[in-house]
């Protein structure tokens, strides 16, 4: 081979390498390393929208937007509060951890967005609608019963349905207004045992229904969890919505399951699914889909790929979480969308206007348990690492008050200031054992103190450490490491939380100067 041909060949290789995206330039799984479970997804034109589950949080039923399927930002919530009952307002010793609103269904039909959910807490099904998904307003129709893990479906003949249930899947027709069950109709069994393709020997039955129609055929996605196995994607197919349905196992890898189908404008297909991932929560994945013999075939040789033929992932800050200095300009939202209250807030007992540039949390009742305290303001933790920090002014706290920074889940951890009789102390509380214990107490002689919590989710470490500082420069570790297990009673990834509650006298308040979140931890 002469030198000229060798040079041309070498140049062509270099140009090809420049054109082809490297692994670093491609999208990666998981697409979001944060708690975004039970996704439902649609595409309108070249824009994707996704809903998810946040259960007991308010506002609830978050809506996210993306242009590339990989990088998402919060744009709305379907509701401010789900309902006003003791379990949602944390009154009379009740709560709705692990419940609230669950898996949603998402549709766009004739210019209207439909996001539906259901709640064991209220025993109702909810259908939220809007013409403008980012600005609202949202309308709601509610009716009984609570249709478990339902999928809303608009068929080509103008009829509307919900498919729902676990194991035995049922179908019910809705009225033309999509505000309730059609009068005179009755629910019908659609599939007697949808778990059959993955085995019927126990485990969790098929649920999480999401229905799609592609090229005239119906495709019903479900998740099952066979005993001794892993979370599994099941797909049933039919020529008519009433069946008969034939089913198969579509994916069994890494426990990535529950979701449905989405296509790109250039007709690439993906399945959106999620994975249980310890203390950070349930995290979204995308799995490429090919069509073979009229079936969607998920994954690459049956496996979930690490990289995707999609744009590269950017930071989850500020799309999913964000820092906040609590300074508001005219026209700003009172609270950015990244914030959610733990259960329904008492809006009389918080403000960002009473002291400019501060979040003020006021006490209005006596509490004895952190998980039953109202007005704890929360954001997701994110992986693989994240740090949340704040500056607290305790000048106006009363005897018995406790305020600070927490990591919220059943086995929670707190660092904050407790006010005693004529004294103040920095305290770290750990619920590693399932019950709260004061691990360390340090006298405090000033009115401002800095706190931070560092979370390490790398390789499922699920460990957090708490720190305090008197000047914002020198940080001191306090208490013990917090193990962060994902517990079923709360059914949610760990969250950073700003809190203040009274144990003796009401009327005090705590002022938070800022909340900062970073996607790293100190390396000391």
pLDDT tens digit string along 185-218? 999 999 999 999 998 666 889 999 999 999 999 9
Torsion angle of the four alpha carbons 156, 160, 165, 166, in this order, in degrees rounded to the nearest 10? 10
In angstroms, rounded to a whole number, what is the distance separating the alpha carbons of residues 201 and 230? Answer: 13
Report the run of H or E that residue 477 belongs to, with start and end. Answer: strand 476-483
Domain boundaries, the chain: 32-311, 340-518
Active site residue 149: no
Tell me the C-alpha to C-alpha distance, in Å, between residue 494 and each of 41, 407, 428, 454, 487: 24, 6, 17, 12, 10
Can you give the pLDDT at residue 234? 98
Residue 384 preceded by cis peptide, ω within 30: yes
Q: Which of 35, 149, 207, 454 is catalytic?
A: 207
Q: Is the dihedral of CA 171, 175, 176, 177 positive or negative?
A: negative
Domain topology for 340-518: Jelly Rolls (2.60.120)
What predicted TM-score, i.e. pTM, was given to this entire model? 0.94
Can you give the pLDDT at residue 478? 98
Nearest to 362 by CA among 378, 344, 349: 349
Can you give the pLDDT at residue 203? 83
Q: Are 102 and 35 a contacting pair, CB within 8 Å?
A: no
Q: Which of 35, 38, 149, 511 is catalytic?
A: 38
Task: Kindly provide the residue ranges of all beta strands, DSSP E only, lying in 231-306, ordered along the sequence.
Answer: 232-238, 246-251, 257-263, 269-276, 282-292, 295-298
Report the run of H or E that residue 380 belongs to, with start and end. Answer: strand 377-380
Residue 154 DSSP SS3: strand
pLDDT tens digit string along 273-314? 999 999 999 999 999 999 999 999 999 999 999 999 999 999
Q: CATH number of the domain at 32-311, please?
A: 2.115.10.20
Nearest to 320 by CA among 379, 396, 255: 379
In angstroms, rounded to a whole number, what is the distance separating the alpha carbons of residues 136 and 83? Answer: 19
Positions in the chain short of pLDDT 50: 1, 3, 5-21
Nearest to 229 by CA among 207, 261, 259, 251: 251
Active site residue 332: no
37: which residues sit within 8 A by CB, 6+ positions away?
52, 53, 258, 274, 281, 282
Residues of 284-314 as b/e, b for ≥16 C-beta within 10 angstroms?
A: bbbbbbeeeeebbbbbeeeebbebbebbbbe
Q: Are 428 and 417 a contacting pair, CB within 8 Å?
A: no
Which strands form 232-238's sheet, in the order they lie side by side? 204-214, 217-225, 232-238, 246-251
Q: Take residue 83 and report the two structure tokens written for it.
A: 């309902």
Can you give the pLDDT at residue 25? 84
Can you give the pLDDT at residue 136? 96
């Amino acid at each position: 081979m002469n030198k000229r041909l060798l040079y041309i060949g070498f140049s062509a290789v270099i140009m090809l390498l420049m054109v082809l995206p490297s692994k670093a330039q491609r999208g990666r799984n998981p697409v979001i390393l944060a708690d975004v479970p039970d996704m439902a997804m649609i595409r309108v034109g070249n824009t994707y929208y996704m809903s998810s589950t946040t259960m007991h949080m308010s506002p609830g039923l978050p809506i996210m937007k993306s242009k590339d399927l990989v990088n998402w930002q919060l744009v709305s919530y379907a509701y401010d509060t789900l309902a006003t009952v003791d379990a949602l307002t944390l009154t009379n010793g009740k709560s709705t951890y692990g419940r609230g609103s669950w898996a949603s269904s998402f549709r766009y039909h004739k210019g209207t967005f439909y996001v539906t959910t259901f709640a064991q807490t209220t025993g109702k099904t909810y259908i939220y609608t809007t013409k403008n998904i980012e600005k609202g307003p949202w309308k709601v129709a509610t009716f009984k019963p609570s249709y478990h893990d339902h999928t809303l479906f608009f068929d080509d003949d103008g009829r509307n349905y919900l498919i729902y249930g676990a194991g035995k899947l049922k179908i019910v027709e809705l009225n033309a207004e999509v505000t309730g069950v059609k009068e005179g109709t009755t629910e019908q069994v659609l599939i007697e045992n949808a778990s059959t393709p993955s085995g019927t020997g126990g485990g969790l039955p098929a649920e999480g229904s999401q229905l799609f129609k592609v090229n005239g055929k119906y495709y019903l996605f479900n998740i099952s969890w066979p005993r001794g196995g892993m979370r599994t994607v099941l797909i049933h197919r039919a020529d008519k919505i009433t069946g008969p349905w034939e089913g198969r196992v579509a994916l069994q890898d890494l426990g990535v399951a529950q979701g449905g189908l989405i296509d790109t404008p250039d007709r690439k297909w993906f399945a959106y699914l999620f994975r249980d991932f310890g203390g950070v929560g349930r995290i979204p994945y995308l799995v490429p889909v090919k069509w073979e013999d009229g079936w969607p075939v998920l994954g690459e040789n049956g496996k979930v790929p690490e990289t995707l033929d999609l744009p590269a992932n950017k930071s989850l800050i500020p799309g999913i979480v964000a820092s906040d200095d609590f300074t508001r300009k005219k026209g700003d939202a009172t609270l950015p969308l990244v914030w959610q209250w733990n259960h329904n807030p008492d809006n009389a007992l918080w403000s960002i206007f009473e002291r400019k540039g501060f979040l003020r949390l006021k006490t209005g009742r006596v509490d004895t348990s952190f998980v039953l305290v109202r007005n704890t303001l929360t954001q997701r933790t994110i992986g693989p690492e994240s740090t949340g920090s704040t500056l607290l002014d305790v000048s106006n706290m009363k005897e018995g008050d406790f305020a600070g920074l927490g990591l919220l889940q059943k086995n929670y951890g707190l660092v904050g200031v407790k006010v005693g009789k004529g004294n103040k102390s920095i305290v770290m509380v750990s619920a590693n054992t399932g019950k709260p214990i004061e691990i360390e107490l340090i006298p405090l002689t000033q009115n401002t103190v800095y706190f931070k919590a560092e979370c390490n989710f790398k390789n499922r470490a699920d460990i957090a450490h708490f720190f305090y500082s008197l000047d914002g420069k020198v940080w001191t570790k306090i208490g013990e490491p917090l193990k962060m297990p994902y517990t079923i009673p709360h059914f949610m990834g760990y969250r950073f939380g700003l809190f203040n509650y009274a144990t003796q006298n009401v009327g005090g308040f705590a002022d938070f100067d800022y909340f900062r979140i970073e996607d790293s931890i100190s390396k000391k």
